[in-house]
Amino acid sequence: MGNDFDNDDLSWLRRPNDQDDDSNQDEQPDLDWLIGDQGNAPKQRDEKRLGVTGELPWLRDRDSDDQGVTSEEDLNFDWMSDPTSEPKQGEQRRLGVTGQLNWLQDPTEATEEAPQVNARKSAIEEQIEAAERAAGVNRNIETPNFDDEETSALPSWLQGAEADPEDDLTLDDAPEFNFEDLVSENPDWLPTPTATNTPVESFNFDDLDVAETPDWLRVDRASTDDDDFFNDLFGDQADEVDLFAGQSSGTGLTGLLNADDVLDESDEAALAPSGTGLTGLLNPDASTELDSDFDLFKDFGDPASEDEEPSFDDFDWSFSEDQLETPSPVQPVRSSSSMDELDDLGWLESLEAAPVTASSSKTPPKADSIDVDSFLASLGTGSGNEIIPQVDFDDLANTIDFEDLFNDDFDQLQSPQEETPLPLAPDWLANVSVGEVSASAIVRKQQDRPLEDLSDRLLALREEGLNLNPTETVENDLALANLIPDLTDALPPAPIQPGTLSITNQLKLTPEQIKNAQLLAGIASLAGDAIGVEALRESVAKPRPRLRLQLKIGRLLIAVVVLIAVILPFFGIGQIGELPPGLFPTNSPEQRVFDQIDRLQPGQLVLFAAEYGATSAGDLNTVSDVLLNHIVLRGARPVIVSTNPIGVLLASERVTRITGLTPNTDYYIGGYIAGESIGLRDFSENLRQLTSNDLQGQSTGLALNSLDDFALIVVVAERLESARNWAEQIAPITNVPITMGISYSASPLIMPYLNAGIDGVIIGYEDAFTYSVLLEGLEGVDRPTEEATASETPTVETPILATPIVETPTLATPIAETPTATPIPTLASPTAQPTTIATGESIATATVDAIIIIATEEVTPTLTPENTVIPPSPTPIPPTPTDAATETFARVNASQAVNVREGAGLGFRPVGSVQPGERVLVLEANSDQTWYRVRLANDLEGWILGTLLDFEDDSTNWDDEGQTVYISFIRQSPPTSTPAPIASAPELIPYREERWYAMTLGISVIVLIIAVVNIFNLIRRGR
Amino acid sequence: MEGIALIASFALTLMILSYLLGDNPLYRLAVYTLIGLTAGFITIVTVESVLIPWFESTVLTGQPINIGIGLIPVLFGVLLLFKTSPRLGQAGNLALAFLVGVGAAVALVGIVTGTLIPLTLTIGDAFTGNLLNTLIVFIGVITSLIYFQYALVRKTPQGTVERTPLMKTLGGIGFGFIITTLGALYAAAILTSLTILIERIGFWLTQLTGG
């Protein structure tokens, strides 16, 4: 066995006969030395385990004669349990705090009645075994037989020869603890307490095989080097150890082990200040290394003499290194860093022997007189009279606070001194705690990392923080820093201004945040400092907004450039590009719109839907203008409706700009259609109800039954959804053609609906420009009147058009005229009496009595007989023939291109155009010399309005030729006097060309800016 | 009166353009004015054109049947007002369900009869015309729909889910069509905005120069 412990493997702790342990036997500790001598075999013990580890079979029933315990009650460990608690019915009394000290119970008690307790026992047993297995402890030690009263004081597990390795100790086997045994039995292996400390001379590992106390534990044995460890462990002093000394003093286990009256000052000073809990056992200054734990046993010196009362004065529980070095009656704990040092049990030599009073009295000693040293020392004598301290366990139960066993105040381990707050920490921080731990303690525990461990970023932040001026003032009185007055190291906060959240760069607090700030101020004990809180309150009541304009140079620069680009063309600068053509392509969607409206007859109703709002008015007002003017020029009557109330308002404003119109006669402002698509569906079915009154609530006089009562539906929409609603809800349920005018933004998505419900569409300003060119010179027709008489000369009043070139728009121009000079066939009977049309009636109800035949080579626009009133025509005026001997030239006097038409009238289709200032050959004139047939330089012939020509020769020599048939309408009450000349109307599209040039230049500038910015970004990213 | 309107329109235009300098109270004032006037006008028009005529023709007629018919939408409207309350919002679910259901039905009918069928017929007729245009339209429609289709997928050996190569290719073509359309829409929106700006400038010059 020898120097096994030198090898640091504790193999010497292993029993030599152990065969069950699968682990390395050399490494397993063997506690055979604790087994009693076979010669002095201890009395047969109860097989049940005793003690916490079940290895204190000597703690058998104290009724045993060998134990010398006076009474069973004295050894009743029920004091460890709650004295006020009574076991439940059917359960065994819980022994101990955890109820696991079943070994303390009477072994005769049935354990079947407490299944829960047994379960806990099993669980704890398993845990202990697992822990010991992990630690390499072999616990296959003989289960002591406590029933055997003849068993010696030495526990059977200490008796190596009689140990049955197959027996497993269980908690169930533990008998009830009998303290009489404790005080009366003195295991043989413990040296007899003597008055003087006799050093343990040596440890003889050979003694492990003997049943009796190993020699090294005996006082009289000479110590050897091999026994150093155990010498250190148990000391060489025959000190009696009184386990129960000092019960009256402290709380918890420390109170058990340390008594005020037995501890000397050094001991007390070495202990934790509170002396509470298990931490009281640990000295914060002591080494926390594992080796120092072994010093726990250093104070177990030789048993004291019989004459001496063991006391805890001999027991040094201190683990302070200083005390280890201090020579004292109690050998201080010597911190060691290696097992070799631990093997040195010389510290045991310093233990003063505390005599263990062997008493045959079965009365347990008083609690305050119990000496652990004495007690342990007395256990080795083998005498039954060794002192088992007679303990008044009732007193122990009252004095020991087991709750403190579990109160580990680790803060006290750290430092016995009072907590000192960190520098610069505010006072209020000390009052803030997290549970039972103060915030200052938490802060104190946190240690700054060394600078070398910080990353570069953190180092930079640290430098920046050090360079900050902590006294930097904040402009705002409501800075958060005012809420924490002592916090001087805080970074200056962002300017805070309570108020409503808005799009600004300032930090503003919501009312909820202000409340939180007030709460923080209250926590920070700012009750006396009402500046911050009051200021917060005042600021909430009186917000002080700050105006701060932040100029974004890039955005501003781009806007300025675009503005300049669109303004310059208005002053004749930067007019790049070409104007839109004066004609739409043939059969194009735009041309179809023009044709549809151009085919309208006077008096027909046109449903005009203005589906746009104020935001798109700048774009679609021009479209509405050209369409409405064309409708009015054709004599039709627009009925304006919209699912957008603003659209109705805008369209009504555009139509009122056309002078000469009478509301609810020449045009109608219909109602607002609520409900988008649902409203349109309802509108299509309840047409009369929705068109009976206008927007102002006045009666319109319309009696519409269905959508087919309209001749045309024109929709001007800014969004695709509006246009689609009309295409989906209205187009499928009516045969009336639908044409649209839409903005640029909706144009890409409206194309699929062409030819699928929509007959034509004009898009944006470009098409409006061309449409306006087409409208130039277009003169209005007579509008239908309420009454008509045959004798009256039909007077023609033409609505005023807003055209820039028409200075005298009042013309009595018939719609259909013969394009040639051929004679006109007979007219219809002049005796035909037209049918009067009452005011307010629908044209559809009118009847026609006569139709004037238009004898022309070309078919004029047909008229529906049932809705047209044709009065007798006046005497036709033959056209003026051309003088073949004289060629008359003229120049076009206009600011833009002029249409050349097929016939002498606006109703004829344009066949070409002539540029301003171009010289043309005048061929002939019509009867009233308002239209002239000309020949262009490219040999194109056509008719041009006479007012647009400046003849080179003022002298005209025209002969009337042919006749012209006129178709006109007679008003109900034609004026008797000559109508006053109508003043010039405002232009249809002011600055029409300039606006187009501005659009061209503006688009070019925008594209250029986008390209430059993107290229710049690409280059920058590429770098 | 026209002078006041002219000055007001000029001032409001400048206030709106002041947004170039950043958000400021003048811009907000102009926006609030526009929104307020629009909301007020819409309210007045709705009350005068819709509500009052409805009440006059139903509830105020005195006939029980008309009253009952007139009160139903009133009841629905009142229930809808409960949607403003988090606690009582469920009370408006009935009216909302009715509104949504009717709107969906009307929209669905319109979509089928006004969009799907006519577009399908148009594509069919287009084969008789410009075949190239028809083919481009057909391919664009099909590939754009495929782009949003994720049914035909497969698992790669790495465990990820992806579409088959054919669907990827067709979806890519459709993505091109979609991007082109979005670009055209964006350009059109810029044109619209520019047109509005120029119209404002032309209006100013017209007023300043008298035409």
| Contact call for B38 and A998, based on CB within 8 A | no
Q: Where do you find CATH 3.40.50 in chain A?
A: 589-775
What's the rounded mean pLDDT across residues B123-150?
79
Of A88-102, A739-753, A790-804, A1001-1015, which gets the smallest average pLDDT?
A: A790-804
Confidence category of residue B35, pLDDT binned at 50, 70, 90: very high
What share of chain A has pLDDT > 90, as a percent? 9
Residue of B2 and B88 predicted with greater confidence:
B88
How far, in Å, CA of A879 to CA of A780, rounded?
22
> Which residues 143-202 of B are in CB contact (within 8 Å) with A?
181, 184-185, 188-192, 194-202
- Helix, strand, coil: what percent of chain A each, to 5? 35, 10, 55
pLDDT of residue A565: 92
Helix (H, G, I), strand (E, B), or coil: what is residue A933?
strand
Contact indicator for A241, A391 with CB cutoff of 8 Å? no
CB atoms within 10 A of CB A901: 22
Residue of A659 and A366 predicted with greater confidence:
A659
Per-residue pLDDT at A715 exceeds 90: yes
Helix (H, G, I), strand (E, B), or coil: what is residue A1013?
helix
Per-residue pLDDT at B131 exceeds 70: yes
Contact indicator for B65, B57 with CB cutoff of 8 Å? no
pLDDT, tens only, A758-799: 889 999 999 999 998 888 867 666 666 544 344 444 444 444
Closest partner residue to B191 (CB to CB) among A555, A744, A755 is: A744
Which residues, in sequence order, are bridge partners of residue A934? Answer: A922, A942
Of A272-276, B48-52, B75-79, which gets the smallest average pLDDT?
A: A272-276
pLDDT of residue A391: 57
What's the rounded mean pLDDT across residues A878-892?
61
How far, in Å, CA of A804 to CA of A984, rounded?
9
pTM to 2 decimals? 0.46
Per-residue pLDDT at A608 exceeds 90: yes
| Contact call for B181 and A1002, based on CB within 8 A | no
Per-residue pLDDT at A593 exceeds 90: yes
Mind spelling out the 3-state secondary structure of A552-613?
Answer: CHHHHHHHHHHHHHHHHHHHCCCCCCCCCCCCCCCCCHHHHHHHHHHCCCCCCEEEEEEECC
What's the rounded mean pLDDT across residues A592-604?
90
What's the rounded mean pLDDT across residues A939-965?
63
Q: Are strands B161-163 and B153-155 parallel, antiparallel or unpaired?
A: antiparallel
> Which residues 59-98 of B are in CB contact (within 8 Å) with A?
none
What's the rounded mean pLDDT across residues B112-116?
86
Considering only CA atoms, which of A234, A95, A243 is closest in space to residue A182?
Answer: A243
Q: How does DSSP assign A26-64, residue by residue?
A: TTS---GGGSPPSTTPPPPPPSS-BSSSSB-TTS--TTS
What share of chain A has pLDDT > 70, as a percent? 37
What's the rounded mean pLDDT across residues A687-706?
82
Q: Where do you find CATH 2.30.30.40 in chain A?
A: 789-978
Contact indicator for A606, A713 with CB cutoff of 8 Å? yes
Which of A612, A713, A728, A1014 is most worth mutating to test chain B (most B CB atoms within 10 A of its CB)?
A728
| Contact call for B21 and A994, based on CB within 8 A | no
**B46: distance to nearest CA of chain A, Å?**
8
pLDDT of residue B160: 79
Of A233-247, A505-519, A799-813, which gets the smallest average pLDDT?
A: A799-813
Per-residue pLDDT at B175 exceeds 90: yes
Give the CATH fold of the A789-978 domain: SH3 type barrels. (2.30.30)
Per-residue pLDDT at A971 exceeds 90: no
Residue of A299 and A890 predicted with greater confidence:
A890
How far, in Å, CA of A789 to CA of A846, rounded?
15
**B112: distance to nearest CA of chain A, Å?**
8
Q: Which range, A103-107, A591-595, A667-671, A886-890, has the best average confidence (pLDDT)?
A: A591-595
pLDDT of residue A482: 60
Q: Estimate the crossing angle of helix B165-209 against helix A617-633, to 10 degrees.
A: 70
Residues of A in contact with B134 (CB under 8 A): none
**B160: distance to nearest CA of chain A, Å?**
32
Considering only CA atoms, which of A308, A371, A369, A360 is closest in space to residue A67?
Answer: A360
Considering only CA atoms, which of A652, A644, A642 is closest in space to residue A621?
Answer: A652
ipTM of the complex: 0.87
How far, in Å, CA of A843 to CA of A782, rounded?
15
Locate all alpha helices (DSSP H) within A634-745, ordered by sequence. Answer: 645-656, 676-685, 687-691, 720-729
Confidence category of residue A717, pLDDT binned at 50, 70, 90: very high
Per-residue pLDDT at A179 exceeds 80: no
Contact indicator for A206, A85 with CB cutoff of 8 Å? no
How far, in Å, CA of A288 to CA of A299, rounded?
18
Mean pLDDT of chain A, nearest integer: 63
Location of structure tokens 């300003």: A765
How far, in Å, CA of A333 to CA of A336, rounded?
9
What share of chain B has pLDDT > 70, as a percent? 95
Per-residue pLDDT at B32 exceeds 90: yes
Q: Are strands A637-642 and A668-672 parallel, antiparallel or unpaired?
A: parallel
How far, in Å, CA of A265 to CA of A312, rounded?
12
Mind spelling out the 3-state secondary structure of A411-455?
Answer: HHHHCCCCCCCCCCCCHHHHHCEECCEEHHHHHHHCCCCCHHHCC
pLDDT of residue A897: 75
> Which residues 19-48 of B are in CB contact (within 8 Å) with A?
20-25, 34, 38, 41-42, 45-46, 48
How far, in Å, CA of B5 to CA of B8, rounded?
5
pLDDT, tens only, A126-138: 888 888 787 766 5
Per-residue pLDDT at A70 exceeds 60: no
Closest partner residue to A618 (CB to CB) among B21, B53, B200 is: B200
Q: How deeply is A137 buried, as exposed, middle or buried, from its count of CB atoms within 10 A (0-12, 13-18, 19+)? A: buried
What's the rounded mean pLDDT across residues A695-715?
86
pLDDT of residue A128: 82
Q: Which range, A113-117, A146-150, A162-166, A772-776, has the best average confidence (pLDDT)?
A: A772-776
Residue of A153 and B116 predicted with greater confidence:
B116
Contact indicator for B196, A616 with CB cutoff of 8 Å? yes
Per-residue pLDDT at A518 exceeds 90: no
Locate all alpha helices (DSSP H) within A757-837, ordered by sequence. Answer: 764-775
Per-residue pLDDT at A442 exceeds 90: no
Q: How many CB pairs under 8 A join A and B?
A: 160
What φ, ψ does residue A575 adopt, rounded to 5°? -85, 85
pLDDT of residue A711: 93
Confidence category of residue A263, pLDDT binned at 50, 70, 90: very low
Considering only CA atoms, which of A471, A488, A496, A482 is closest in space to residue A532?
Answer: A482
A530-to-A413, A429, A496, A524, A539 alpha-carbon distances in Å: 42, 20, 18, 12, 13
Location of structure tokens 């000073």: A269
| Domain spans in chain B, listed from the N-terminal domain onward | 131-211
pLDDT, tens only, A658-688: 878 888 888 898 878 988 888 999 898 888 8
Contact indicator for A373, A258 with CB cutoff of 8 Å? no
pLDDT of residue A539: 55
Confidence category of residue A545, pLDDT binned at 50, 70, 90: low
The letter for the amino acid at A272 is: A
Considering only CA atoms, which of A641, A620, A580, A611 is closest in space to residue A743?
Answer: A620
Per-residue pLDDT at B86 exceeds 50: yes
Angle among Cα A712, A717, A719 to the nearest 5 degrees reads 145
Per-residue pLDDT at A456 exceeds 80: yes
How far, in Å, CA of A897 to CA of B149, rounded?
53
pLDDT of residue A590: 92
| Residue of chain B with shortest Cα separation from A988 | B211
Per-residue pLDDT at A409 exceeds 90: no
CB atoms within 10 A of CB B101: 10
Of A19-33, A275-289, A618-632, which gets the smallest average pLDDT?
A: A275-289
pLDDT of residue A546: 60
Confidence category of residue A42, pLDDT binned at 50, 70, 90: very low
pLDDT of residue A828: 38
Give the CATH fold of the A589-775 domain: Rossmann fold (3.40.50)
pLDDT of residue A534: 60
Diameter over CA atoms, chain A = 172
Closest partner residue to A747 (CB to CB) among B22, B107, B188 is: B188
Of A422-436, B32-46, B66-80, B144-158, which gets the smallest average pLDDT?
A: A422-436
Mean pLDDT of chain B, nearest integer: 86
Which of A570, A619, A680 is most worth mutating to test chain B (most B CB atoms within 10 A of its CB)?
A619
B56-to-A263, A702, A718, B43, B140 alpha-carbon distances in Å: 106, 20, 34, 18, 52
Per-residue pLDDT at A725 exceeds 80: yes
Per-residue pLDDT at A919 exceeds 90: no
